[in-house]
């Protein structure tokens, strides 16, 4: 089967332009936003996705009634000067007959620079034509645009379960003390959780569980000063104070650790009972999602020892990683066997850490990999009508785009689908 490579990239400027175009179409854009839109289009702070977006919608731009056109002429008069360099009063703004090819003289240089699609968009905006409708050929795209209107990208948030079983939703809380457990204070500050164990009662150790549902991610600083970032659909179980000879936590899903150094108390991570990681002080990422083919530990700084289970940490079967290496424990259900495999070359640290840095990095990713990330971040279900198409992606984009914008990219790349509530069904 031939692998199709999809280049999947959108700059922050392009995303913002498309956002402004959508607000403009809904008649929600302010005068300042219209002026900003026209200025951004002129300065070229965008990529080919904006042109593609315009091409998909330009034929469906239709003039509104007289009141609508007057409304937008008033807002566009100032923006016209930014585009053309000429001052045009709102009352003098020319109307465009969509059945003729009217081209004001002062817009000719934009026709040469941008091509017909972008120039037509400028003319449509300048004339106050703000409503577009998808024609019958675009019916499928209209359906998903409507169905995904309210599916926003993930955000900061988590559910914290305290030692006594109390559940605290952190999304809506402000800064301050969340709880006190046996003298240990749980503090929320600027969207991150921290623990102050200075006054913890001797011998009193309780366990907390932080869960990030689909569409959420969060950061916590553990009682020893270790910082942990949790990706969507993940969990972290840890004590409210570390005592004894080791510091032990349990993680499912994906997490990035910056471990506080303490040579006398090694830090150990149980990764979904699939892999065990022992560290002294280091930065590393753990991907332990159940629906991925392997549990992966990627080392950025320091040293870690990785084994298949806790019992192997002190045996020759464990593997010691150096910065830039990745250890993979292949899930037994996928291979019939397991063990630790060390990847020495071609470990793309930027791709591994993209989720923490607010990006989708799809370099070399299969359609299945891409869709699993989309499922977790947008809190949707993905299904395939007839198997998973053999498609390979390239490129990256920020994670702050609504689902409908991401689907525009997929549709442009000839990936077909339909939406049923929060279920995305990929078609052959």
Q: What is the CATH number of the domain that holds 194?
A: 2.60.120.1440
CA distances to 262, 310, 327 from 307, rounded to whole Å, are 21, 7, 9
Mean pLDDT lowest among 128-132, 176-180, 406-410, 413-417: 128-132
Residues 107, 33 share a domain = yes
The answer to whether residues 72 and 128 belong to one domain is yes
Are residues 340 and 194 both part of a single domain? Answer: yes
What is the structure's pLDDT at 146? Answer: 47
- Say how many domains are in the chain: 3
Two tokens at 297?
């530990």
For residue 32, tell me if it sits in a domain.
yes
Percent of the chain predicted with pLDDT > 70: 65
Query: Domain end: 287, 320, 352, which one?
Result: 352
Same-domain check for residues 336 and 371: no
Residues 170 and 111 reside in one and the same domain: no
* 205 and 325 assigned to the same domain: yes
145 within domain boundaries: no
* Cα dihedral 409→415→420→423 (10° resolution): -80
- Tell whether the model's pLDDT for residue 252 goes beyond 80: yes
* pLDDT value of residue 261: 92
Contact criterion met (CB below 8 Å) for 286 and 269: yes
Range with the poorest average pLDDT among 122-131, 278-287, 320-329, 392-401: 122-131
Cβ–Cβ < 8 Å for 226, 251: no
Q: What is the pLDDT of residue 257?
A: 98
**By C-alpha distance, which of 411, 363, 358, 408 is closest to 14?**
408
Residue 105, pLDDT score: 29
Question: Rounded to an integer, what distance in angstroms lies between the CA atom of residue 260 and that of residue 266?
Answer: 10
The verdict on residue 142 lying in a domain is no
Domain assignment present for residue 146? The answer is: no
| CATH code of the domain covering residue 372 | 3.55.50.30
Residues 183 and 315 in one domain: yes
Same domain, yes or no: 169 and 68: no
Are the C-beta atoms of residues 261 and 303 closer than 8 Å to each other? no
Q: Kindly give, in sequence order, each residue whose CB lies less than 8 Å from that of residue 297, ignoring residues fewer than 6 positions away.
A: 271, 275, 277, 284, 285, 286, 304, 306, 321, 326, 327, 328
Q: How far is CA 154 from the centre of its chain?
A: 7
35-49, 279-293, 367-381: which has the minimum mean pLDDT? 35-49
Distance CA 342, CA 319 (A): 8
| Residue 237: domain span | 155-352
Domain boundary among 352, 384, 412: 352
Residues 39-66 have a mean pLDDT of: 56
CA 166/CA 169 separation, integer angstroms: 10
Q: Which helix (H) or strand (E) holds 300?
A: strand 294-301
Give per-residue pLDDT as tens, 274-291. 899 999 789 999 999 999
**Do 216 and 321 fall within a single domain?**
yes
Q: Is residue 147 part of a domain?
A: no
Which of 296, 324, 352 is the last residue before a domain boundary? 352
19-33 burial, b if ≥16 CB within 10 A, otherwise e?
A: bbbbbbbeeebeeeb
Would 22 be classed as within a structural domain?
A: yes
Helix ranges (H only) for 345-413 are 349-352, 367-378, 403-412
Give the separation between CA 407 and CA 200, rounded to whole angstroms.
Answer: 50
Q: Is the pLDDT of residue 174 over 50?
A: yes
Q: What is the mean pLDDT of the chain?
A: 75
In a domain, residue 141? The reply is: no
Res 128: pLDDT: 37
- The Cα–Cα gap between 55 and 76 comes to 22
Phi, psi (degrees; rounded to nearest 5) at 150: -105, 10
Residue 144 located in a structural domain: no
State the Cα–Cα distance between residues 398 and 409, nearest whole angstrom: 13
Partnered with residue 304 across adjacent β-strands are 279, 321
Q: Which residue has the higher pLDDT, 343 or 222?
A: 222
Q: β-strands 304-307, 275-279: how paired?
A: antiparallel
Convert the pLDDT of each residue in 55-85 to its tens digit.
565 543 344 445 544 544 444 444 434 333 3
- Read off the tokens for 355: 């989720």
Please give the backbone phi and psi of residue 26, each rounded to the nearest 5 degrees, phi first: -85, 0
pLDDT band at 130 (very low <50, low <70, confident <90, very high): very low
361-364 own/partner pairs: CB under 8 Å, 24+ apart: 361/396, 362/6, 362/8, 362/393, 362/394, 362/395, 362/396, 363/393, 363/394, 363/395, 363/396, 364/392, 364/393, 364/394
Poorest-pLDDT segment among 116-120, 216-220, 246-250, 253-257:
116-120
Q: Using CA atoms, how far apart are residues 174 and 190, in angstroms rounded to an integer?
A: 8
216-221 and 155-156 strand pairing: parallel
Residues 348 and 370 in one domain: no
Residue 208 has pLDDT above 70, yes or no: yes
Pick from 276, 202, 210: nearest CA to 241:
202
- The CA distance from 286 to 251, in Å, is 8
Cα-Cα-Cα-Cα torsion 321, 326, 329, 331, nearest 10 degrees, comes to 170
What pLDDT is stored for residue 379 in this prediction? 96
Note whether 365 and 344 are same-domain residues. no
Confidence check: pLDDT of 225 > 90 = yes
DSSP H helices in 132-215 = 139-147
- Indicate if 344 and 373 belong to the same structural domain: no
């Amino acid at each position: 089967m031939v692998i199709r490579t999809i280049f999947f990239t959108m700059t922050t400027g392009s995303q913002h332009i498309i956002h402004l175009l959508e607000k403009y179409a809904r008649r929600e854009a302010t005068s300042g936003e219209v002026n900003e839109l026209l200025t951004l289009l002129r300065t070229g702070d965008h990529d080919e996705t904006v042109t593609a977006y315009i091409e998909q919608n330009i034929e469906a731009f239709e003039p509104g009634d007289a009141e609508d056109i007057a409304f937008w002429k008033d807002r566009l008069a100032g923006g016209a000067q930014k585009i053309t360099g000429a001052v045009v009063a709102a009352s003098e703004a020319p109307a465009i007959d969509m059945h003729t090819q009217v081209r004001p003289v002062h817009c000719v240089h934009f026709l040469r620079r941008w091509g017909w699609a972008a120039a037509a968009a400028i003319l449509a905006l300048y004339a106050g034509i703000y409503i577009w409708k998808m024609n019958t050929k675009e019916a499928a795209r209209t359906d998903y645009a409507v169905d995904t209107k309210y599916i926003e990208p993930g955000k900061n948030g988590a559910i914290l379960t305290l030692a006594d079983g109390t559940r605290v939703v952190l999304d809506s809380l402000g800064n301050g003390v969340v709880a006190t457990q046996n003298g240990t204070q749980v503090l929320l500050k600027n969207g991150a959780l921290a623990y102050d164990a200075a006054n913890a009662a001797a011998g009193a150790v309780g366990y907390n569980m932080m869960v990030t549902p689909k569409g959420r991610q969060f950061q916590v600083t553990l009682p020893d000063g270790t910082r942990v970032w949790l990706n969507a659909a993940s969990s972290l179980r840890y004590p409210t104070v570390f005592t004894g000879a080791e510091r032990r936590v349990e993680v499912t899903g994906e997490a990035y650790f910056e471990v506080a150094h303490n040579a006398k108390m090694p830090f150990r991570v149980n990764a979904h009972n699939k892999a065990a990681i022992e560290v002294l002080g280091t930065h590393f990422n753990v991907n332990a999602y159940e629906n991925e083919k392997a549990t992966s530990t990627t080392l950025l700084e320091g040293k870690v020892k990785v084994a298949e289970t806790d019992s192997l940490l002190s045996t020759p079967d464990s593997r010691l990683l150096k910065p830039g290496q990745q250890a993979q424990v292949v899930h037994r259900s996928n291979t019939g066997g397991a063990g630790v495999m060390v990847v020495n070359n071609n470990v793309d640290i930027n791709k591994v850490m993209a989720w923490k840095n607010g990006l989708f990095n799809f370099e070399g990713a299969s359609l299945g990999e891409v869709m699993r990330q989309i499922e977790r971040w947008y809190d949707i279900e993905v299904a395939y009508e007839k198997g998973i198409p053999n498609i390979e992606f390239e490129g990256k984009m920020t994670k702050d785009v609504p689902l409908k914008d991401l689907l525009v990219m997929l549709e442009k790349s000839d990936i077909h689908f339909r939406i049923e509530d929060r279920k995305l069904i990929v078609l052959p």
